[in-house]
C-alpha cells in the first residue's frame, strides 16, 4: 500500500486529538467546554508559553509552545514535521517576550500566533532551500576544482575538446553548435539535457568561464544558447562544457517564502482565505481545513454563482455528454470550479493533464482574460499541458526561457507573441536602430524600445486565456505585479513547497493542485534539506492534514494485467482499467510466461558493482550491473527484430534506478542493429526511473541492479519508485533482477509473490 494511506490514518488520528472534541452528552462541566472556548484556551496557552511566564523551565515552555503550535497548524506530512516544530519553538522563545507580552484570548493574540506560525514556516523551508543550494554549489565546485578529466568524462558531467560553430538565434539568444573536433566523431556519453545550465570555458573552469543553456543534443553534437553579449566571445575551440548549478530557482523560492510570511494589508479577503488554507492555520471560527477549502471564491458567491457558475456547469455537461471525460474526471472538474482549494489525485495513466486542460477550458469562461496561471514542476509537464490546451482552442501564453520550451511550442512563448504585437515590432526596429547609433541618440532609442516592449508584454499577457510556466518560472520579472485569480498546479506532488508558493502568491483566490503522493516526491539531493522536510510537497502535506483528493479512477495506459498489482497495492483496488487485453496485445519477440498477461520477472544472479567514489559531495557514486545490462540488450534486440511496432526502438523504454546503470545500459545497447542498420540516434530511450515519471512506452524493460550478499536494496525500498517503474508500460513489462535481494523489501516481496502466484517468473 502507498505509504501515504497509512500517513493519512496517522494524521487523522493526531488531528482528532489536537482539535477540540465534541462534548459527550451528560459529561462533566469540565468536559463540556465549547469548542471555541477550548480553542481560545489552547491559543492563550501557546502565547503564554512563548512569553516565558509559564510554569517550569524555559525549555519546557518552549516544548509546550512547539507542541501546541504543531497541533494548531496541523502541518503533519505523514509524520511529525520536526523542522517546523523546532522553528516554532525557537521563534516563540526568542520573540515571545518582546512580541507577546500578555496572556490574552482576543483577535490580536490570534494574529500574533498566526504571524509566529508563518515565521516558523519560512524558517523551516528556508533552511531546506539553503541546504539544497549549498549542496549543489559544493558539488559543482568540487567537480570543477578536484576531479580529473577522466573521472568527469566517465560520470558524463563534462565534455572536452569541442569546436563551436554559430547555429542561428532563438529570439534574443544566440545558438552555438558544439561537436568533436574531428568531423563526424560521436560525443562521449553525458548527463546534460535540454534546459541544463552549463559552463563554457577554454581554460580551467572559473577562469573566464561563460554561461549557457542546453537547447538540444544528438550523439554527435549539442546546441547551446548564450546571451547576445556572450556570443562574441565564442569562437573556434577547443571548448570544455561543464554541468553547473542553478541559483535562480533558489532565489525565487526564498522570495516566495518571504512574501508568504509577511503581513500584507492590501490582500483581498479571498486572497487571505486561500493563504490561510495553504498554511492550515488562521481559519475562520468553526471551520476545519477541509471545510475551509470547500468555501467558494469571490467570483462564485451570491448572484455570481448563478451568472458565472451556471454557464460553466453547462459547458462541463456538454463535454461529458460528448464522452470526452469519464465520471470521475467530470466530478473532479465540477468540484474545482467552485472551491477555494481542490486536490486531484491522478494515478498513472488516468489522464490528469487532459482533465486539467478541460478544466481550464471551462474555467476561462468564468474569469476575465489574463486571470489564470497554470504551472508544473518541470518544463516537460508544462509543455504537455500547453499542447493539450492548444488542442482545445485555449489561447495560452508560455512564459519561460524559450530554449527550455519544446520547439513545436515556441510560437506560443511570450517572446514570440511580443514580436508579433505592433508595439513589439516597433520595439524590435528601435533596438536595431539603437545598435547602430552612438551616444544620446542610441540611448534614447533603446529606452523607447524598452517601453514599447513592456507595453507589448502587458498586452500579450492580458490577452491570454491561460498563462503557463514552471512553478519557479512564475517568478519571471515580466510577471511582477501581475495578478492571477486562479492558479492550477500540475505535478503538484513533485514540486517542493517553496516552488509551489511562487505562482500561488500572485494574487490567487483559488487553486487546484493535481498530483499523486503515491508516485515519486520532489527531487532533493541534500540530506539536510531532506531533514528539513523539503522533500514533502505541499500537496502531500495538505493531503496528510485532512484534505482528501478527488481520485481519477480509470487508467487508459496499461494492459489490465500490468495495472493489477499497482491498483491493488498502491490505490486499494480503486484504479480501474479501460483498455482490454485485446487493446494491448503482448509484444512479439519475448517468451511471455502467459501471453494474455504480458508481465515477466527475469531472474539474474550477476552481482552489482559500485561506480564513482562513495562519499563524494558530488554524489557521483552509483551502482551498475553488467550481467543485467547484457540481458537487457539481448531482450531489446529480440523485441525490435520480431515486433513490427518496435523495430525503430522508439516504442521501448529501458529504465533503472541508478545513473551508473544508465551508462552501462547505453554502452551495451549501442551494439544493437536494426533492420535499417545501426540504432537511430535517440530512438531507444534509457533513463532512470525518476527521469521517466509521467512518461509511457509500449514496452518497458526495467533493470533493478541490486544483487548482493547482504540483500540491501537501498532506495529501491521506496515503494513510490516501484509504483512508477511498474506503471510506465502499455503492452509489456519485463523486470530483470535478483529475487533473493529484492525480496528483502516488503513491497518488492509482495510483487515477487504476486508474480510467482500468477506464474509470470522466468
DSSP label of 297: P
What is the C-alpha R_g of the chain?
A: 28
Torsion over CA of 428, 430, 435 and 436, rounded to 10 degrees?
130
**pLDDT tens digits, residue range 370-424?**
999 999 999 999 999 999 999 999 999 999 999 899 999 999 999 999 999 999 9
* pLDDT recorded at residue 84: 61
Q: Give the distance from CA 76 to its chain's centroid.
A: 20
* pLDDT recorded at residue 216: 86
Q: Are 222 and 159 in contact (CB under 8 A)?
A: yes
Q: Scan for cell 493539450, then name that residue.
A: 388
pLDDT of 616 above 60: no
**Residue 247 CB neighbour total at 10 angstroms:** 12
Closest by Cα among 465, 479, 431, 466 to 171: 431
pLDDT of 506 above 80: yes
Mean pLDDT check: name the lowest of 96-100, 142-146, 496-500, 657-661: 96-100
Domains of the chain: 3-129 (no CATH), 147-246 (2.40.30.270), 253-550 (3.40.50.300), 554-758 (3.40.50.300)
* pLDDT recorded at residue 675: 58
DSSP label of 586: P
User: Average of pLDDT values for 238-256?
Assistant: 91
- Specify the 3-state DSSP secondary structure of 166: strand
**pLDDT tens digits, residue range 444-491?**
887 888 899 999 999 999 999 999 999 999 999 999 999 999 999 999
**pLDDT tens digits, residue range 670-689?**
877 665 555 666 679 999 99
Q: Are 377 and 522 in contact (CB under 8 A)?
A: yes
- Specify the 3-state DSSP secondary structure of 133: helix
Task: Take residue 171 and report the three cell numbers written for it.
Answer: 529570439
pLDDT of 122 above 50: yes
Closest by Cα among 274, 467, 220, 295 to 367: 467
SS (H, E, C) 509-577: CEEEEEECCCCCCCCCCCHHHHHCCCCCCHHHHHHHCCCCCEECCEECCCCHHHHHHHHHHHCCCCCEE
Comparison of pLDDT for 210 and 284, the residue scoring more = 210
pLDDT of 297 above 70: yes
Burial class (CB in 10 A: 0-12, 13-18, 19+), 518: buried
**pLDDT tens digits, residue range 563-580?**
999 999 999 999 999 999
Torsion over CA of 269, 274, 276 and 280, rounded to 10 degrees?
150
Mean pLDDT check: name the lowest of 107-111, 159-163, 558-562: 107-111
Q: What's the helix, strand, coil split of the chain in %, to 5?
A: 50, 15, 35
Q: Are 547 and 290 in contact (CB under 8 A)?
A: yes
* No. of helices (H) and no. of strands (E), the chain: 26, 24
Q: Round to whole Å and give the CA distance between 641 and 636.
A: 9
**pLDDT tens digits, residue range 302-346?**
887 888 999 999 999 999 999 999 999 999 999 999 999 999 999
**Residue 671 CB neighbour total at 10 angstroms:** 10
Q: Round to whole Å and give the CA distance between 1 and 228.
A: 53
427-454: b (≥16 Cβ within 10 Å) or e: bbebbeebeeeeeeeeeebbebbeebbe
Q: Give the distance from CA 33 to its chain's centroid.
A: 44
User: Average of pLDDT values for 353-371?
Assistant: 97
Task: Take residue 339 and report the three cell numbers written for it.
Answer: 472551491
User: Average of pLDDT values for 501-514?
Assistant: 98
Closest by Cα among 14, 9, 11, 5 to 747: 5
* pLDDT recorded at residue 22: 32
CA distances in angstroms from 186 to 179, 196, 431, 559, listed in the order given? 8, 20, 40, 38
User: Average of pLDDT values for 523-546?
Assistant: 90
Q: Round to whole Å and give the CA distance between 555 and 552.
A: 8
pTM to 2 decimal places: 0.83
Amino acid at each position: 500500500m502507498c505509504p501515504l494511506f497509512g500517513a493519512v490514518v496517522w494524521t487523522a488520528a493526531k488531528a482528532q486529538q489536537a482539535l477540540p472534541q465534541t462534548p459527550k452528552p451528560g459529561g462533566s462541566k469540565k468536559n463540556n467546554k465549547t469548542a471555541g472556548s477550548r480553542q481560545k484556551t489552547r491559543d492563550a496557552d501557546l502565547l503564554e508559553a512563548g512569553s516565558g511566564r509559564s510554569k517550569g523551565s524555559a525549555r519546557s515552555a518552549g516544548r509546550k509552545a512547539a507542541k501546541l503550535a504543531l497541533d494548531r497548524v496541523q502541518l503533519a506530512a505523514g509524520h511529525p514535521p520536526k523542522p517546523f516544530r523546532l522553528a516554532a519553538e525557537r521563534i516563540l522563545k526568542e520573540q515571545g517576550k518582546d512580541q507577546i507580552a500578555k496572556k490574552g484570548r482576543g483577535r490580536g493574540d490570534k494574529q500574533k500566533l498566526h504571524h509566529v506560525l508563518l515565521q516558523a514556516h519560512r524558517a523551516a523551508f528556508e533552511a531546506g532551500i539553503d541546504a539544497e543550494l549549498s549542496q549543489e554549489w559544493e558539488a559543482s565546485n568540487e567537480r570543477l576544482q578536484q576531479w580529473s578529466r577522466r573521472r568527469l568524462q566517465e560520470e558524463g558531467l563534462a565534455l572536452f575538446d569541442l569546436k563551436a560553430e554559430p547555429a542561428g538565434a532563438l529570439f534574443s539568444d544566440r545558438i552555438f553548435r558544439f561537436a568533436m573536433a574531428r568531423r563526424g566523431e560521436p560525443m562521449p556519453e553525458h548527463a546534460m539535457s535540454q534546459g541544463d545550465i552549463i559552463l563554457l570555458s577554454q581554460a580551467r573552469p572559473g577562469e573566464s568561464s561563460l554561461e549557457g543553456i542546453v537547447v538540444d543534443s544528438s550523439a554527435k553534437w549539442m546546441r547551446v544558447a548564450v546571451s547576445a553579449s556572450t556570443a562574441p566571445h565564442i569562437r573556434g575551440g577547443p571548448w570544455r562544457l561543464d554541468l553547473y548549478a542553478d541559483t535562480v530557482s533558489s532565489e525565487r523560492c526564498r522570495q516566495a517564502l518571504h512574501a508568504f510570511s509577511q503581513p500584507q494589508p492590501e490582500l483581498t479577503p479571498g486572497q487571505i482565505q486561500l493563504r490561510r488554507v495553504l498554511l492550515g492555520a488562521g481559519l475562520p471560527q468553526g471551520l476545519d481545513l477541509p471545510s475551509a477549502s470547500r468555501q467558494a471564491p469571490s467570483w462564485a458567491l451570491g448572484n455570481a454563482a448563478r451568472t458565472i457558475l451556471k454557464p460553466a456547469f453547462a459547458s462541463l455537461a456538454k463535454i461529458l455528454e460528448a464522452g470526452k471525460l469519464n465520471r470521475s474526471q467530470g466530478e473532479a472538474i465540477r468540484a474545482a470550479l467552485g472551491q477555494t482549494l481542490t486536490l486531484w489525485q491522478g494515478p498513472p495513466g488516468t489522464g490528469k493533464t487532459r482533465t486539467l486542460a478541460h478544466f481550464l477550458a471551462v474555467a476561462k469562461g468564468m474569469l476575465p482574460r489574463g486571470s489564470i496561471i497554470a504551472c508544473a514542476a518541470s518544463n516537460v509537464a508544462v509543455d504537455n499541458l500547453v499542447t493539450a490546451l492548444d488542442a482545445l482552442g485555449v489561447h495560452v501564453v508560455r512564459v519561460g526561457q524559450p530554449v527550455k520550451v519544446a520547439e513545436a511550442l515556441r510560437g506560443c512563448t511570450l517572446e514570440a507573441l511580443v514580436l508579433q504585437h505592433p508595439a513589439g515590432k516597433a520595439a524590435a526596429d528601435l533596438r536595431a536602430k539603437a545598435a547602430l547609433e552612438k551616444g544620446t541618440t542610441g540611448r534614447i532609442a533603446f529606452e523607447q524600445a524598452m517601453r514599447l516592449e513592456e507595453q507589448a508584454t502587458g498586452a500579450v499577457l492580458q490577452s491570454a486565456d491561460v498563462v503557463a510556466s514552471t512553478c519557479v518560472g512564475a517568478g519571471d520579472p515580466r510577471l511582477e505585479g501581475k495578478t492571477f485569480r486562479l492558479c492550477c498546479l500540475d505535478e503538484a506532488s513533485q514540486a517542493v513547497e517553496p516552488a509551489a508558493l511562487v505562482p500561488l502568491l500572485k494574487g490567487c483566490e483559488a487553486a487546484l493542485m493535481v498530483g499523486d503522493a503515491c508516485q515519486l516526491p520532489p527531487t532533493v539531493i541534500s540530506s539536510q534539506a531532506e531533514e528539513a522536510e523539503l522533500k514533502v510537497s505541499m500537496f502531500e502535506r495538505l493531503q496528510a492534514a485532512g484534505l482528501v483528493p478527488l481520485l481519477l479512477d480509470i487508467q487508459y495506459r496499461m494492459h489490465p494485467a500490468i495495472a493489477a498489482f499497482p491498483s491493488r497495492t498502491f490505490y486499494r483496488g480503486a484504479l480501474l482499467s479501460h483498455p482490454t487485453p485485446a487493446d494491448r496485445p503482448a509484444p512479439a519477440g519475448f517468451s511471455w510466461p502467459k501471453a494474455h498477461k504480458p508481465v515477466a520477472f527475469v531472474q539474474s544472479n550477476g552481482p552489482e558493482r559500485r561506480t564513482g567514489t562513495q562519499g563524494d559531495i558530488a554524489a557521483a557514486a552509483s551502482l551498475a550491473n553488467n550481467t543485467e545490462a547484457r540481458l537487457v540488450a539481448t531482450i531489446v534486440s529480440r523485441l525490435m527484430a520480431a515486433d513490427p511496432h518496435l523495430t525503430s526502438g522508439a516504442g521501448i523504454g529501458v529504465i533503472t534506478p541508478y545513473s551508473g546503470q544508465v551508462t552501462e545500459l547505453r554502452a551495451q545497447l549501442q551494439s544493437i542493429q536494426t533492420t535499417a542498420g545501426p540504432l537511430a540516434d535517440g530512438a531507444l530511450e534509457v533513463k532512470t526511473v525518476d527521469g521517466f515519471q509521467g512518461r509511457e512506452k509500449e514496452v518497458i524493460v526495467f533493470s533493478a541492479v541490486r544483487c548482493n550478499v547482504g540483500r540491501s536494496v537501498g532506495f529501491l525500498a521506496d515503494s513510490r519508485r516501484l509504483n512508477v517503474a511498474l506503471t510506465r508500460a502499455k503492452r509489456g513489462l519485463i523486470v530483470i533482477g535478483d529475487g533473493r535481494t529484492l525480496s528483502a523489501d516488503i513491497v518488492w516481496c509482495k510483487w515477487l509473490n504476486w508474480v510467482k502466484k500468477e506464474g509470470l517468473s522466468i
